[in-house]
Amino acid sequence: MSLALAPLDERVELEANLPCRKFDPDLWFSDSPTELELAKSLCGDCPLRVECLAGAVERAEPWGVWGGEIFERGAVVPRKRPRGRPRKEDVARDAALRVEVEARMAATGLAETRDNVRLAA
């Protein structure tokens, strides 16, 4: 019995160049708001960003960064807040970011699945 090498799959080569494969995976599941923002920025140029986000929405991922968006308890949140009571300006910024997230989701074609997506209030 001889062991034959499988032909090189382009998908394997692509996955090796994905940000979530090149950097520490814990970055995408950090408790630190700063590290989560870094993970979101790394997702920006990912060729699989839209598919990743769509899959996370479909699965209602409980937490982490998926497709350049932060998920918490199955909902997309504009940013992760640190512990404690939010400042008034943070609440206003969160409202503006929520609008931005909705616009980005509409631009990527995920607005049609809006019934499946729950944005955190």
Mark the binding-site residues for [4Fe-4S] cluster, compressed into ranges. 20, 43, 46, 52
For the chain, the helix, strand and coil percentages under 3-state DSSP, each to the nearest 5: 55, 10, 35
Distance CA 65, CA 61 (A): 9
Q: Binding site: which residues?
A: 20, 43, 46, 52
Residue 4 gets the label, from left (phi > 0), alpha (psi -120 to 50) or beta, of beta
